[in-house]
Chain A
Amino acid sequence: MAQAGHPEAAARFAADDARAHWHDQALWFVRLKRDRQARALPEWEALRACAEKIKAHTASRLADYLEEFERNATAAGAVVHWARDAEEHNRIVHGILAARGVTRLVKSKSMLTEECELNPYLEARGIEVVDTDLGERIVQLAHERPSHIVLPAIHKKKEEIGVLFHEQLGTAAGASDPAYLTEAARGHLREKFLAAQAGLTGVNFAVAETGGVVVCTNEGNADMGTSLPPIHIACMGVEKLVPRLADLGVFTRLLARSATGQPVTTYTSHFHGPMAGGELHVVVVDNGRSALLAAPPHRRALSCIRCGACMNTCPVFRRSGGYSYGAVIPGPIGSILSPARDPARHATLPFASSLCGSCSDVCPVRIDLHHQLLAWRGELVAQGRLPAGKRLAMKLASFVFRHPALYRLGGRVGRFLLRHLPRALLYGRWNAWGRQRELPPAPKKSFRELYGRDDG
């Protein structure tokens, strides 16, 4: 944890108290919507358990199901590509586009392409990439990255979007009415859709049994982007697979409710093979996923269906903002996935949690998120990534706790000092607890001194 990490970034975000609270409220509102929708299903917990089982089963036979998927997708007329890592993924996508002379691509939200940094890769090679989800378009126009996986522009107030649109799209100065701004974005995107030569989408689920891919959106832009231009590229991580079409209902019921508190997503589109005269390419990406699969403590993290519910519920995320995690996938699940990629860079993330466990209980596929965060802490310490001072403090405390006489003496001395040292010393710079809080009381006698009886 040598370099600046989550605590510093979080403190910067939290320093603007009004803004941090506004962010907190906005996400809590989504959490409440989710609660209402979950409670509308008496079988909610059974659904979660079922989803967890399907995911665990799929992961245990992933290679078989991937082959089955490829067979069936190919039979339906799609071309399946395999990418080991981000670089290969980008190369494949660019290859398809370049071979067909495509210079204008519309995209519908895919966190995978964010993860692979596809946009800059294509732009550097002369291809215009337009993100067509409203939130994604907003951050793209602002030259930012999504701060949340489902609500990518949740960190922006409508007034700020008004200013951005005024500058970039020529909307009226000072306008902040969401309906007006959305309409303006629609008009702007319509031109982009009409001019596009290819459409790229993410994949929410891929079905081994049918070889089909499923994309869930609320704005219908995945359908616009795949039905206007003749080329559709669908990019998916290997973990998006479910075995049978019948499994899908379990996940679509959980996904929409967990993500936005809707009973179903507005558009759930199934793609089986290309449209008449068109092409469908499915790029299946590993990029570290099979390594995660091979590591038992974090295997369950691969079950994530990217609903974002753990972010909305996380009291730390809500008050520290998505960017404080310094990763494409932020929040509790990001804090598990990111250190798996690069433990040195993301060493503070597993500690950016009070381990309240709300994420684990909200997760529709029952990933034991807070226990995984704890497991990560152990791994990072074993890798020697806890600052030496903190490790030493723990060693010392552990030693004292193993020696009751030392513990009793330490307690007496500590309480005496707390009662008698001048305040300026007690609340010096070293005391992170005391910057905003009073220290706990220091009674004259401890419990064991008061209880008195030698009884055990």
Chain B
Amino acid sequence: MPEVGLFIPCYVDQSYPQVGLAAVRLLQRHGVKLHYPRDQTCCGQPMANSGCDEETRPLAERFLRIFGRYEHVVAPSGSCVSMVRNHYARFLEGKPGFDHLRRNTFELCEYLVDVLGVERAGGRFPHRVGLHQSCHGLRELRLAQGSERVVAPFDKVRQLLASLDGITLVDLTRQDECCGFGGTFAVNEEAVSCMMGRDRIADHERAGAEVITGTDASCLMHLEGLIRRDRRPVKVMHVAELLAGAEG
């Protein structure tokens, strides 16, 4: 069985530990041998997205030092994985081990489907669920086809969710619009960011979702922040929590 380096992004570590634990349970249930390197912190995405390359570079180098030795690296966060796969090249191109790292870092659901070949996630989740497609997972990792492109439809996360017993996946009017988180964008452009988030929530609510799920705790943190402030009834769950919980 593959030996996996578990990457728990900083904000998941600090604010959503249960998401990390759920990812651990899921991976272990599928026979993965996990390693959790204790020195890991942050992939540097906030700095990179702010254009602060000088501040990003040492974190990218650090990430390679810590995770370069594993056969696979898995994280419950599409945007952090995209950072490694699509944005580290600027800092690490040509460094020994980088090619291996880039090709073997996976988002959790992607890992289950593409590498472990999981077709059905076991378990039961008898609820109406709305899937929020996080943009980086969608358009940078291609976890699903995206509504802009004319290609054969596929959706790795939805496929896992749909295989649960009793689940109803609701249909949104705007299948994959951004929730407005966008890292520092959420603070920098607070007005538009919050309007986008509320629009996303409204779309899920109109579709009758009881639970909003997704691959990125960051998008969900933004949506949940609005939901709690506005006292809306809809719940938010990371897909790892949902899948791990469904298995019972």
- A: residues with CB less than 8 A from B are 6-7, 10-11, 14-15, 17, 20-21, 24, 28, 35, 38-39, 41-42, 44-45, 313, 315-316, 319-320, 350-358, 360-362, 370, 374, 376-382, 386, 390-391, 394-395, 397-398, 400-402, 404, 407, 411, 414-415, 432-433, 435-443, 445-451, 453-456
Contact = CB atoms under 8 A, between A and B. Distances in A.
Interface string B196-208: 1101000000000
B88 interface: no
Contacts of B52: 378, 381, 386, 391, 394-395, 398
Interface string B50-65: 1111011011001000
| Majority DSSP secondary structure for residues of A touching B | helix
A397 B225 CA distance: 23
A398 to B, nearest CB: 4
B231 to A, nearest CB: 10
A14 B147 contact: no
Interface stretch (B13-21, B99-107, B120-128): B13-21
A354 B195 CA distance: 13
The bracket for how many chain B residues form the interface is 35 or more
Contact of A316 (B10, B14, B40, B189): B189
Interface in B180-214: 180-197, 199
Contacts, number: 230
Output the residue of B41, B189, B196 with the most chain A CB within 10 A.
B189
Contacts of A381: 50-53
Output the residue of B51, B147, B185, B194 with the most chain A CB within 10 A.
B51
A455 B42 CA distance: 18
Contact of B10 (A401, A441, A451): A401
Nearest to A316: B192
Given A436-B229, A437-B226, A448-B38, A360 B59 contact: no
Interface of B: 5, 8, 10-18, 20-21, 24, 34-42, 44, 46-53, 55-56, 58-59, 62, 66, 87, 135-136, 138-140, 146-151, 174, 177-178, 180-197, 199, 221-222, 224-226, 228-229
A447 B8 contact: yes
A30 to B, nearest CB: 13
A298 B53 CA distance: 18
B150 A441 contact: no
Contacts of B44: 398, 401
Given A44-B150, A355-B182, A377-B49, 14 more contacts: A39-B150, A41-B150, A45-B151, A351-B185, A354-B182, A395-B52, A402-B59, A407-B42, A433-B186, A437-B225, A440-B15, A448-B8, A450-B17, A455-B34
